[in-house]
Amino acid sequence: MASYQEQLKTDMQRLEKMLQRVVAPQISTKQCATTIDDSTRILNLACGSCNEAGTLTDFFANLKALDQPEAEQKIELLGIDVRAREIADAQRRFPSGKDSAQNIQKDYQFLTGDASKLDSHRALDEHFDVVFMRHQNFYNGGRVWEEIFEQALSKLKQDGQLVITSYFDEEHQLALNAIQKLGGQLVDSQQNLESRKLPTAGKSIDRHVAVFRRKD
């Protein structure tokens, strides 16, 4: 049986493949080129321990590098979750710094806080290129998650993308409906056929991935 670390590594490789398939086609060369000197800013809501932090920063840096392979890529990721212990874990595992091998400057910030009330955080004054929610949990608290989705859409730059993943089919569909009602334009949604099954029937890791833009 695979160890936890091996499972995590495989989950991240599969997530990266899904992002290549679903998210990469939505990012135009123009968008990469115009932001090449700026940081790409990623907001990860309800991030827990943020296992995907390195996968996300590498993925978006590599997309930009397709346009200007020699340029240093700057990527910022800000994660927020109500669970202080998970946030402390993320802070320990993902220090900011320069990845010289890949020429990427990665800046990580992890905050303990309520993602349905982002306006109370000064670090969240600006808008983001990408808002990410892995394993959104709409099924276990519809009202709070509607508020989180609302905040997610409001923190997107005009041409930014909201990306969600879900553990199971019904929860994914509920989230798709709710986000569209709140002003999200569904761009694509795909099932991850390689997703790792969990002990609960019908649940698996990153089972679905969807991308939205703002309608306005």
Ligand X SMILES: C[S@@+](CC[C@H](N)C(=O)[O-])C[C@H]1O[C@@H](n2cnc3c(N)ncnc32)[C@H](O)[C@@H]1O
**Count of C-beta atoms within a 10 Å radius of residue 100:** 9
Pick one of 14, 22, 40, 48: the residue that binds ligand X (CB under 6 A): 48
Residue type at 27 in one-letter notation = I
The reply on whether position 81 binds ligand X by CB under 6 A is yes
Among 47, 87, 130, 163, binds ligand X (CB under 6 A): 47
Nearer to ligand X, 60 or 145 (CB): 145
Q: Does 46 bind ligand X (CB under 6 A)?
A: yes
- Per residue, the 3-state secondary structure of 21-55, as one string, reads HHCHHHCCHHHHHHCCCCCEEEEEECCCCCCCHHH
Q: Does 179 bind ligand X (CB under 6 A)?
A: no
Contact status: 137 vs ligand X (CB under 6 A) = yes
Q: What angle do CA 168, 129, 23 make, to 5 degrees?
A: 45
- Closest CB to ligand X among residues 144, 182: 144
Query: Residue 71 belongs to what H/E stretch?
Result: none
Distance CA 126, CA 156 (A): 9
User: How many Cβ atoms from other residues are within 10 Å of residue 37's Cβ?
Assistant: 10
Contact 108, 95 (CB under 8 A): yes
**174 binds ligand X per the rule CB under 6 A:** no
- Nearer to ligand X among residue 45 and residue 65 (C-beta): 45
Q: Does 32 engage in binding with ligand X (CB under 6 A)?
A: no
Choosing from 9, 17, 21, 83, the residue that interacts with ligand X (CB under 6 A) is 83
Nearer to ligand X, 50 or 65 (CB): 50
Q: Of 1, 15, 103, whose CA–CA distance to 61 is shortest?
A: 103
Closest by Cα among 182, 174, 91 to 137: 174
In whole angstroms, how close is the CB of 163 to ligand X at the nearest point?
12
Using CB under 6 A, which of 82, 174, 178, 186 touches ligand X? Answer: 82
Selected from 144, 174, 182, 187, the binder of ligand X by CB under 6 A is 144
**Could you list the residues that contact ligand X (CB under 6 A)?**
46-48, 80-83, 86, 114-116, 134-135, 137, 144
